[in-house]
Amino acid sequence: MSAIPKEIINWNILNEIVSMDEDDPEFSKGLIIQFMEQAQTTFDKMQNILHTTRDLGELDSLGHFLKGSSAALGLQRIAWVCERIQNLGRKHESSFPSSEVVRASLFGNDTEPSSAASVESGNVSQLDDSVYLQLIGEALQEARNEFQLANLELSKYYGSPL
């Protein structure tokens, strides 16, 4: 599991997009608003799957999907959580750090992504689907949190609530 990015936004990436506003005002803002809607929809879809079909493959691809667009906009912490969801969905990982660890990483604390909400990695293959679903549920909550943080930050940047 890669380390959690400390910064909510990778400005190297976002600035490049913002620079496109030159000949197309509001381009970056429009893109971000579109992402916001897309993210909300995807989160709701995930939530729905967790409550109904509990289909890990479906969660994997939704995670992958949102990872792509969030990373493209430089929203790297959301992208990081989405990657966790993707990997949990395909059972490549079997743990997700506790909410405290995720929070702490935001303030630059170098806490290793411990496996607070994890299971012994020895018998990964025998783990029940419900374990992964449980972890994805936690990750989804974190993703929503990160989404709120990013929204705040971006609203501040654009000087208007998004």
Partner 1 sequence: MNLSNDTDISRPSTSASANLGIVNNTNHNNGNNSNIKAPSNDFVRKLFGILERCEYPDIVRWTEKGESFVVLDTGKFTTQILPNHFKHSNFASFVRQLNKYDFHKVKKSPEERQHSQYGELSWEFRHPYFTIHNEEALDNIKRKTTVQKKIMLDDSTVLLKPNSGSQPGMEENTGANLILGNAVTKDKFNLLKRRVDRLQKDLDSAKEESYNAKLEFQKLNSKYNTVVESLFTFKTVNDNLMHNFNTLCSVLNNRGIDLPPHIYEDPNLKQHPNTQQQAQAQAQAAAAAATQTTTSTSHSTAGMSPLQNKAFDPLNNAVNAMVPGPVQLPAPLSTNSAAAAAAELQLPMPNMSHGPTVTTDKGDKLPETYDSFVLREGFHVLLVEDDAVCIQLCSKFLRKYGCTVEVVTDGLAAISTLEKFRYDLVLMDIVMPNLDGATATSIVRSFDIHTPIIAMTGNIEDQDLITYLQHGMNDILAKPFTKDDLHSMLIRYLRDRVPLIKQQEQRAHAANNPHHHHSTADNGTGTGTAGGSSGGGVNHRNNDGNNGNSIGPHSVDRNGYASSEADSQPELLTRSHSHSQLQSSLDDTANTTTTNPSGIPTQAMHPTSGQTQSSGRNAPLSTTASGHSASAVPDQEGKMLMDDEPLLKKQRV
Which pair of structure tokens corresponds to residue 135?
């972890």
**Shorter beta-carbon distance to partner 1: residue 19 or 155:** 19
CB of 53 to partner 1, least distance (A): 13
Which pair of structure tokens corresponds to residue 132?
């992964």
Amino acid identity of residue 117, one-letter, is A
CB of 49 to partner 1, least distance (A): 16
Instruction: Please say whether the dihedral angle defined by the alpha carbons of residues 115, 123, 66 and 133, taken in this order, is positive or negative.
Output: negative
CB of 110 to partner 1, least distance (A): 20
Q: 93: number of CA atoms within 13 Å, CB side?
A: 24
**Shorter beta-carbon distance to partner 1: residue 20 or 152:** 20
Binding residues for partner 1, rule: CB under 8 A, are 2, 12-13, 16-17, 20, 24, 27, 31, 34-35, 38, 61, 64-65, 67-69, 71-74, 79, 83
Closest by alpha carbon to 70, among 157, 154, 134?
A: 154
